[in-house]
C-alpha cells in the first residue's frame, strides 16, 4: 500500500536523501520517494504504519503529516497560467528586495547624483541584505549552497564563511574601502557560482536558490541568474569606468 505525506523542513537534495534514508529503514517500509519541490514523500509499506512512527523516525528539523485525500482533487484550470503565477509569487520577495535597495540607493544620492556612487551603495546594500537572510540559518545554508557552488563543494569551509564574505564586501562598498579589490572578488565568487548554476541547470536538477538563505523558497534558475547578473554587470561597469 502507498501513502503520501507532507514533509516540511527540506531545503536541498541532502535533505531529500536524509528523509528517504530515515523513512526507508523503518520496518515494513519497502520504498520511499520524496518530491523536494512539492514537499511530499510517497511511502510504500507492506502493512499500515502509524503516522507517529514515521514522525519519530525523522530528525527534529523535519515535520511529517499525512496528506488528506481531498487535496488530490485538482480543479480544471490552465496549468500553464498557474505555473507562471507560481513562479512570479516565488520571485516576488526578490523583486521587492531589489526595489527597496534601489530606492534606498536613489535616496542616498539624489541630491548630488552620481552613477558610480549609486552603484556602490546599491551593491553594498545588496550584499548586506542578502547576507542577513543567509545568517538567519547559518547551519542550513551551507548544505543548500554546496548543492550548486563548485568551490563550496570542494572547500566545505567556504560555504560556512560565505555569508560573512558578503557582509565584508557590503561594508567595503558602503565605506568606499578598497573598491577595486571588492569588485574583483565579486566577479570571482559570483562567476564561480554562475558556472555551478549553469551545470546544475544542464543536468536538470531541482535545487532551490540559496541566495536569500533558506528562509525564502526561491527557484534557483531565475533567482540566482537575476542576482548574479545585476552584480556582475555593475562590477564590470565600475571596473571599466
Are the C-beta atoms of residues 64 and 58 closer than 8 Å to each other? yes
Whether residue 92 is predicted with pLDDT greater than 90 in this model: the reply is: no
**Quick one: pLDDT band at residue 232, thresholds 50, 70, 90?**
confident
Q: Domain end: 50, 72, 94, which one? A: 72
For residues 31 and 21, is the Cβ–Cβ distance under 8 A?
no
Q: At 179, is the pLDDT very low, low, confident or very high (cuts 50, 70, 90)?
A: very high
pLDDT of residue 81: 47
Contacts of 196 (CB under 8 A, 6+ apart): 148, 149, 150, 153
On whether both 39 and 59 belong to a single domain, the answer is: yes
* Cβ neighbour number for residue 28 with a 10 Å cutoff: 11
37 plus 54 within the same structural domain: yes
- Per-residue pLDDT for 241 more than 90? no
Asked whether residue 66 falls in the same domain as residue 102, the answer is no
Work out how many domains the chain is built from and give that number.
Answer: 2
Compute the residue count for the chain. Answer: 241
For β-strands 29-35 and 208-209, DSSP reports them as unpaired
Q: Is 7 helix (H, G, I), strand (E, B) or coil?
A: strand
Which domain CATH number covers 18?
3.30.70.100
Q: Based on the domain organization, do 229 and 214 belong to the same domain?
A: yes
Is the Cβ–Cβ distance between 68 and 7 less than 8 Å?
Answer: no
38, 53: one domain: yes
Between CA 182 and CA 168 the distance in angstroms is 9
User: Are residues 117 and 213 both part of a single domain?
Assistant: yes
- Please compute the mean of the pLDDT values over residues 97-116 and round it to a whole number: 92
Residues 135 and 120 in one domain: yes
Least confident span in 47-61, 97-111, 190-204, 214-228: 214-228
Strand locations in the chain (E): 2-8, 29-35, 40-45, 63-66, 208-209, 218-219
CA distance 188 to 194: 10
pLDDT attached to residue 180:
94
∠ Cα 202 231 190 (to 5°) = 45
- Check whether residue 53 and residue 110 sit in a common domain: no
31: which strand partners?
44
pLDDT band at 76 (very low <50, low <70, confident <90, very high): very low
Question: Bridge-partner residues for 32, per DSSP?
Answer: 43
| DSSP type of residue 20 | H
Considering the entire predicted model, what is its pTM? 0.58
Q: Domain limits at 31? A: 2-72
3-state secondary structure of 205: coil
Judgement on whether residues 133 and 38 belong to the same structural domain of the protein: no
- pLDDT, residue 73, reads 46
End-to-end CA distance of the chain: 66
Cα–Cα distances (Å) from 6 to 2, 24, 29, in that order, read 14, 16, 17
Evaluate if residue 176 carries a pLDDT over 90: yes
pLDDT at position 236 over 70:
yes
Domain boundary among 25, 47, 72: 72
Examine the domain organization and report whether 66 and 86 are in the same domain. no
pLDDT of the residue at 208: 54
Whether residue 170 sits in one domain with residue 123: yes
- Please state, as a whole number, how many other Cβ atoms lie within 10 Å of the Cβ of residue 26: 15
Instruction: Please say whether the beta carbons of 17 and 7 come within 8 A.
Output: no
| Of the residues 48, 72, 96, the one at which a domain ends | 72
Q: Are residues 138 and 191 in the same domain?
A: yes
Please check whether residue 119 is in contact with residue 237, taking contact to mean a CB–CB distance below 8 angstroms.
Answer: yes
Amino acid at each position: 500500500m502507498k501513502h503520501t505525506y507532507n514533509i516540511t523542513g527540506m531545503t536541498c537534495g541532502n535533505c531529500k536523501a536524509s528523509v528517504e534514508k530515515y523513512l526507508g529503514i523503518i520496518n515494513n517500509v519497502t520504498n520511499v520517494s520524496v518530491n523536494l519541490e512539492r514537499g511530499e514523500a510517497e511511502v510504500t509499506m507492506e502493512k499500515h504504519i502509524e503516522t507517529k512512527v514515521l514522525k519519530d523516525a525523522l530528525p527534529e528539523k523535519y515535520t511529517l503529516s499525512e496528506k488528506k485525500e481531498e487535496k488530490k482533487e485538482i480543479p480544471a484550470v490552465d496549468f500553464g497560467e498557474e505555473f507562471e503565477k507560481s513562479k512570479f509569487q516565488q520571485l516576488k520577495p526578490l523583486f521587492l528586495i531589489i526595489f527597496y535597495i534601489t530606492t534606498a540607493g536613489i535616496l542616498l544620492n539624489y541630491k548630488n547624483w552620481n552613477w558610480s556612487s549609486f552603484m556602490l551603495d546599491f551593491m553594498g546594500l545588496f550584499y548586506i541584505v542578502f547576507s542577513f537572510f543567509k545568517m538567519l540559518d547559518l547551519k542550513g545554508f551551507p548544505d543548500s549552497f554546496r548543492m550548486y557552488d563548485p568551490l563550496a563543494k570542494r572547500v566545505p569551509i567556504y560555504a560556512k564563511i560565505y555569508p560573512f564574505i558578503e557582509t565584508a564586501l557590503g561594508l567595503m562598498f558602503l565605506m568606499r574601502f578598497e573598491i577595486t579589490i571588492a569588485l574583483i572578488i565579486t566577479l570571482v565568487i559570483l562567476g564561480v557560482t554562475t558556472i555551478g548554476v549553469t551545470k546544475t541547470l544542464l543536468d536538470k536538477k531541482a535545487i532551490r536558490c540559496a541566495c536569500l538563505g533558506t528562509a525564502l523558497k526561491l527557484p534557483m534558475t531565475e533567482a540566482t541568474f537575476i542576482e548574479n547578473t545585476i552584480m556582475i554587470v555593475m562590477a564590470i561597469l565600475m571596473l571599466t569606468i
